[in-house]
Each structure stands twice: as structure tokens, then as C-alpha cells.
Amino acid sequence: MSENDTIAALATAPGEGGIAIVRISGPEAEKMLSALVPASHAWESHRMYYGHAMDQGEILDECMAVLFRAPRSYTREDVAEIHLHGGAWAARSVLSALYRRGVRAAEPGEFTRRAFLSGRIDLSRAEAVMALISADGQRAARAAVRQLEGGVSAFIRSAQQKLISLLSGAAAAIDYPEEISLEEAAGQLEQGARRLADQLESACDERGARIAEQGLEAVLCGRPNVGKSSLLNALARQERAIVTAIPGTTRDIVRADVMIAGLRVHFSDTAGLREGADVIERIGVDRARQAIAGADCVLTVLNASEPLTDEDRQLLRDTENAPRIIVLNQCDQTLALHPADFDRPVTVSALTGEGLAELESRVAAFGAGAGESALTQQRHMRLAREAAQCLRIAADACANGAPVDLAVIDLQQALQCLGRVTGEQVDEQLIDEIFSRFCVGK
């Protein structure tokens, strides 16, 4: 793969649609645009023109076309776009005409890779492009936009400046011991390194990042026939789970995805928890307990129209330390359970919908702050924690009386870790790995 040749790809999703955009980038972008969209005018940068896409004298499609001259383009190269009617034939024909003229088919993520290599964006912003494309909910999209706008870059640059200050102080003490004692320098380095390590670690919120990106796991649990399946259907606004009066109808986990306040919530209806079930149902009960153990939010469902049973009491004990919401279902009937006897319960009726809005609000609260931390991607958090570990090693060395120049080695290692977040310290293999996850045309 050459970074200096001209590439092209479909920049919109394949298949039928309102529009299909063919993107061209490289030194011959304008030449190729002129060849396929003949015009009597000179191409003015950043101006859209109406015309016809043509090949060998044949009109392929009506189109709109635009040229972005370097460096004011996505890749900082000359970039051209041909906007065609949506559908496979026109776009495929234009791309075939380009490839016959020597343009190379772009590889996955190659346009964004060129933007990174040209210095228009750093590596964290390049990753934000893919995060925004794949965002499945407002929280994930908001985190990606914040990263795309330079939130991660600004945080990392600030941390790097603090590290450089620590290194400068250490170097001054080593070179000019008559101006500052090594003991004083070691004390300052220790305090600064520990403080920066705390800041880096506090910027990492793996749980919040996972919830923003993948969604919040909410598990409905309870004994048979308390209305878990009906409640799941009510939350999903569709019939996802089978509802009968026969105990043990639900034997496996039934899932429904619901968007609440910009957060995707994965609700899971589980088998009723009871003893003495048959073999198949016991497998479902075991899976239910596993789901409860890994849930971000546990909805402990009780039938409000019936007195507590021993199974209810055991379930309340089992989920006491879990991140739970006690749900008193079937509140449209005569109540046998009183809300005042429980810890902040939500009374609902899966039949009438009463209380569902409050329940959704309480569930969403378990995802509060998801995606709001400074670092939200696993790669960035891993590198930040590695940098923090190096800083703590340096601080411990100073505290134990080791020479300052030994601590400097760990500070430099921390600086390299932070540089890998933005791409300042990066190798070709990492670049290939990151951009291979991109779609073609981006």
C-alpha cells in the first residue's frame, strides 16, 4: 500500500438509498473528477457543481460533484466527491471507471489513516471517527464526539506537560546539584508523580465506558408468576416473552433492548427462581443466577397482590447487596404488600403501564455518568493505567532513597505510554490494527 497514490471508494453504505457518494483522494483526484464529470468551468474548491457522470461517452448518472483542494480536506490531500443516485449500479460503474484509469481501491479506514498520517488528526481522534460511526445510543455518540473534538487529546497533552515538568525538575537537580538538592528534587518528584498517577487513574472508568458503548445490563428476577415476562413486554413495548399462568414458562433468558434517556438498556427476563424445578428449568434457574451476578441493575420483582412467600424472602436476601430496584408489580390489583415495608420500591402495573416511566428513570440512573470520563476507550485506559503504574514506581523509588536518575527512567516510560494514546509514540503494526477495524470509504 502506497500513501502517495490516488484512492477511491464508496463513502456511503452499500445498497439502495437516496444517495451514493464516491470519494477520491490523492494527487490525481481533480484529474479523475474532470475525466468522469466533464465540465466547461474550472473546478473551484469547496463548491458543489451539477453535472453528469460519464464514461467512454456514456452517461452513467446525473450527479453533483465537489472538489476539496489540499490542505482543506478530510485527508489534507486533494479530495473529490461524486454524489450519485443511491443504488449499486451507478456507484459501481463510476468506481470501475476510476479503477480502469489507475485509481486504487481504498482499503478499510484508509481515508482516515491518511488524515492521521498528514497530521490533521491524532490517533485518538481517528479512533473517535469509528466510535461515532458504531455508536448505538446518545451516550456512546456523545463520548465519541467529545473525543473527536479533542477531549482525549487535551487531557493527554495536559498530563504530558506535567510529566515533562517533573522530568525537567529532575534533570535540573542532576545537572545543578548546587542549586537544588537531590533530596528536595526527589520529594517534589514523588509528590508530583503520585498526584499525576491519581489523575490518570481517575480518568479511567471501565464500567461507565462499557455501559456507554455496549449498553446497561438490567436483569428481571423473581419467583414464577410474579409478572416478569409481562413487565419485560411492557418495557419493550412489544411481545418478546411468552406469558401464561403456568409456572416455569420462561426457561431461558429472553432479552429486549430499550433506549432510555439516550442509553441502551438490555433487559433480560429470567427463569423464575424456585426449588424443585425439573432438569430443564433448573438449567434456566442457574442461568438466571449467573445473569444476576453480572448485571448492572437487578429488578427484583414481587407480586404486590400476594403476601411474601419464602421464595420472595430468599430472593430479597440474595439480592440485598446487588445494585437492585425492588419492583412491586400488579399494583392495579388489591395490594397485599405495602411500599413502606421495602427500600425505595417502584410500584408498577405491567397491564396498565402505571409506574413504568418511574421504573425506566430509576434503571437509567444506574448508568449515570456513563461515557462522561476523560478516557472512554479500552486502549486509552490501558495505556493511562500503565503510565500511572510507571509514575507510582518512580514515586516509590524516590521515597525509598533511590537515585533520582533511576526514577527518570520510569517517568520516560510513562511519557511513552501517553504518547501511544495520541500516536506520537506508535508503530506501524498498531496503526494497521486500528484502521483495519474501519469500514471501507472512511
Q: DSSP string of 229-251?
A: HHHHHHHHTS--S---SSTT---
Over residues 368-382, mean pLDDT? 85
Task: Give the best-scoring range by mean pLDDT among 42-51, 147-156, 178-187.
Answer: 42-51
Q: Who has greater pLDDT, 150 or 156?
A: 156
- The cell for 145 is 464526539
Residues with Cβ within 8 Å of residue 367, at least 6 apart in sequence: 139, 208, 211, 212, 216, 263, 265, 296
SS3 assignment, position 282: helix
CATH 3.40.50.2020 describes domain 129-205+375-423: no
Over residues 202-206, mean pLDDT? 89
Residue 151 banded pLDDT, cuts 50, 70, 90: confident
Q: Who has greater pLDDT, 146 or 38?
A: 38
Please give the class, per CATH, of domain 7-121: alpha beta
pLDDT (0 to 100) of residue 248? 46
pLDDT (0 to 100) of residue 242? 46
pTM of the model: 0.74
pLDDT (0 to 100) of residue 431? 81
- Mean pLDDT for the chain overall: 86
Rounding to the nearest 10 degrees, give the CA dihedral for residues 394, 397, 398, 400: 160
d(CA 412, CA 387): 9
d(CA 202, CA 381): 10
Contact, 200 vs 390, CB < 8 A?
Answer: no
pLDDT (0 to 100) of residue 3? 67
Bond prior to 71 in cis (omega within 30° of 0) = yes
Over residues 187-211, mean pLDDT? 91
Residue 248, CA distances (Å) to 282, 302, 350, 370 in order: 10, 16, 19, 35
Q: Which residues make up the CATH 1.20.120.430 domain(s) of the chain?
A: 129-205+375-423
Rounding to the nearest 10 degrees, give the CA dihedral for residues 54, 58, 63, 65: 10
d(CA 178, CA 119): 43
pLDDT (0 to 100) of residue 385? 96
Tell whether the model's pLDDT for residue 371 goes beyond 80: no
SS3 assignment, position 128: helix
Tell whether the model's pLDDT for residue 31 goes beyond 90: yes
- The cell for 45 is 474548491
pLDDT (0 to 100) of residue 243? 47
For 376, which DSSP code? Answer: -
Q: Which residues make up the CATH 3.30.1360.120 domain(s) of the chain?
A: 7-121
Question: Percentage of residues in the chain with pLDDT exceeding 90?
Answer: 43
**Type of residue at 21:** I
d(CA 412, CA 164): 9
Q: Which residues make up the CATH 3.40.50.300 domain(s) of the chain?
A: 211-365
- What CATH superfamily classification does 211-365 receive? P-loop containing nucleotide triphosphate hydrolases (3.40.50.300)
Question: Percentage of residues in the chain with pLDDT exceeding 70?
Answer: 90
pLDDT digits (tens, 9 = 90+) for 109-132: 999 999 999 999 988 888 888 888
